Amino acid sequence: MSFEYGLYVPGRSVFHRIDPRAKIIWALTVLAFSIYNGNYVMNPIYGGMIYASVLIALISSKPTSFWYKLFGGLSVAILFFSLLFWPASVPLGGKPLLVIPVLGWKYTDLALRLALSKAFLVLSPIIAIATIFITSRPGDLFQALVKWRFPYRLAYIPILALRFLPTVIVEIRTIIDAQKSRALELEKGSIPSRIRKYVAVFVPLMIRMMKSALELGVALDSKGFGAMKTRTFSKELRWRIYDTLILIMFTALYAVMLIVITRFLAW
Amino acid sequence: MATAIKIEDLWVRYREEEDYAVKGLSLEIGEGEFVLLMGPSGCGKTTLCLTIMGIIPRVIKAEVKGSVRVFDLDPLNASPTEIAKYVTIVFQNPEMQLVTTSVYEEVAFPLENFGLPRDEIKRRVKEVLEVVGLSGLEDRSPASLSGGQKQALAIASVLALRPKIIILDEPTSQLDPQGTKRVTDLILKLRKEFETTILAVEHRIEWAVEYVDRILVMSGGKIVLEGDPKTVFSKEIKPEEAGFRPPQVSEIAYKLVRSGVALPTIPISLNEALNIFRGILDERAASS
């Protein structure tokens, strides 16, 4: 995967066409409902539904297979560790379902509920935020932040990081190839020794990046970055009724689901 | 012809260095001139360019003596924004100078920074992309372009501001012959259409020798040789001493002269060499 446009994957899905500001508000809504559920309601079915909604948003934007693998792996890992450690670390009452013999960890129905809710609390906002980056051009995200009165010099820093993602990946590959040709065996040895070997990749990368930073600074200067207090945008973001409708739809969905599930499907 | 760059008795010494990188250099470049700056690595070429840009001493701290004028501006004491309107630099590696994720945004970026009206930005982006031959690639990511296209885009992006002077730091050193030709054509177009003054730092000469007005050869922080390409290469230049190679045809001519062949002039381009050599062969054929 080359990350040509940073994290952005070009496409024409519904999410691609929404104003980035609406997407940011949507992700914050997901975050708010997830926190509320994960900390107060702790209903795994509701958590699972929010998780399903962000998954649908992600899948509908047709990202590359890299993202499916990443979030598939992440979901399995977080669910696994959450189920393993939450019940053990928080003593809760409830009906015991399973007891681990030697360690004495008790898995009750309450513990299971807590573990699943916490897992969804972590997963849903991460996927929602990633969906923003996958479906928005970095330049549009920049403009969204500027429209919200973030100082544009600061708002451009994360955009530059996205822009240089492909450059850094190419650099890392070049350095790894160069070091391998000098007999550095990155794939061999124990995990600590492999980590140590990566120092030989990390140090040259940092030095190269620092050297390039000066050129980048001069380039920004000669493009007049920071020249004016405000700047124009040649392709201006326009908030449409469509954006408002989508936001209302999602918020209503989360609110109605919350009411229905807590009233009628209380665990 | 107005004076674009005027430097008088310039001395530059980097912090914690004993020796000066530029030593009492004086120079004048006219508006619309295409000048090539050559010399071995470490001779002060880049230092000179960075001083003209005001990056020395504003960003890179150094002791600077003497005077530098860029039209009516003193870059040593001007803000980067003021300088950007007059003179701009394109580095050897275009990668670090492309700061957005699409070709269109890259060219629009400086114009947006200066707060130009939207319609004006769209018009200029279209115009500049046509000049550099990147029309139709507006939505492409800079990362997906070829080396020559990236360099053209880096030039396009600073060109949109219509600077009077463009400094090119080894613009072709990372390019293949096709990319080099693209940059050469672009430079010729800039001169013709915008009368831009161009100062290019180079080690390779072939691509520019036919078009360049003047060559400046630097060594040890000074200009040691100056003149049009014909004058500069009329005397033998040894690459190991000068730090750059003369055109290959001139090198062949030097060898011929050394072995006793009388040449009317030292050729600097392939076509010129062909004519000279053909003339000599014809003469010999006629006399025998």
Q: Which residues of A26-54 are buried (b: 16+ CB within 10 A; e: fewer)?
A: bbebbbebbeebbeebbbbbbbbbbbebb
- Residue A266 pLDDT greater than 70, yes or no: no
Contact B143, A167 (CB under 8 A): yes
Domain-located, residue A157: no
The tokens for B140 are: 């492409």
Are residues A108 and A3 part of one domain?
Answer: yes
Identify the CA nearest to A42 among candidates A128, A157, A142, A119. Answer: A119
Are residues B120 and B102 part of one domain?
Answer: yes
Are residues B274 and B212 part of one domain?
Answer: no
Q: Give the pLDDT confidence of B209-223 residue by residue, as tens digits.
A: 888 999 999 988 999
CA-to-CA separations, A237 to A131, A141, A156, in angstroms, rounded: 18, 10, 17
SS3 B163: coil
Question: What's the total number of domains in chain A?
Answer: 2
CB within 8 Å: A232 and B117 = yes
Task: For residue A120, give how far its alpha carbon lies from the nearest alpha carbon of chain B (Å).
Answer: 33
Q: How confident is the model at residue A97 (pLDDT cuts 50, 70, 90)?
A: confident
Question: What's the total number of domains in chain B?
Answer: 2
- Give yes or no for A219 touching B (CB within 8 A): yes
Domain termination residue (choose one: B213, B238, B263):
B238
What ipTM score was computed for the predicted complex, to two decimals? Answer: 0.80
Task: For residue A239, give how far its alpha carbon lies from the nearest alpha carbon of chain B (Å).
Answer: 18
- Residue A132 pLDDT greater than 90, yes or no: yes
Task: For residue B256, give how far its alpha carbon lies from the nearest alpha carbon of chain A (Å).
Answer: 43
Domain-located, residue A258: yes
Residue with tokens 């015991």: A96
Identify the CA nearest to B266 among candidates B240, B246, B282. Answer: B246
Calpha distance B95→B209 (Å, rounded): 27
Are residues A206 and A134 part of one domain?
Answer: no
- Residue A1 pLDDT greater than 70, yes or no: no
Q: Which domain holds residue A173?
A: 164-235
Q: How confident is the model at residue A267 (pLDDT cuts 50, 70, 90)?
A: low
- Residue A91 pLDDT greater than 70, yes or no: no
Are residues B63 and B39 part of one domain?
Answer: yes
What count of other Cβ atoms lies within 10 Å of the Cβ of residue A101?
Answer: 6
CA-to-CA separations, A97 to A4, A80, A108, A219, B219, in angstroms, rounded: 49, 17, 5, 63, 83
Alpha-carbon torsion A219, A222, A227, A230, what sign? negative
Q: Which residues of chain B have pLDDT under 70?
A: none
Task: Label the pairing between strands B214-219 and B34-38.
Answer: parallel
Q: Give the pLDDT confidence of B35-58 residue by residue, as tens digits.
A: 999 988 888 998 999 999 888 888
Domain-located, residue A45: yes
Are residues A98 and A172 part of one domain?
Answer: no
Residue numbers in B near A223 (CB within 8 A): 84, 99, 109-110, 113, 157-158, 161
Are residues B213 and B252 part of one domain?
Answer: no
What type of residue sits at position B163? Answer: P
Are residues B277 and B152 part of one domain?
Answer: no
Are residues A21 and A134 part of one domain?
Answer: yes
State chain A's mean pLDDT as an integer: 89
Give alpha helix (H) positions in chain B: 45-52, 55-58, 80-86, 103-113, 118-132, 147-159, 177-194, 229-232, 239-242, 248-258, 270-287
Out of A163, A217, A232, whose CB is closest to B101?
A163
Mean pLDDT score, A128-156: 93
Calpha distance A148→A14 (Å, rounded): 23
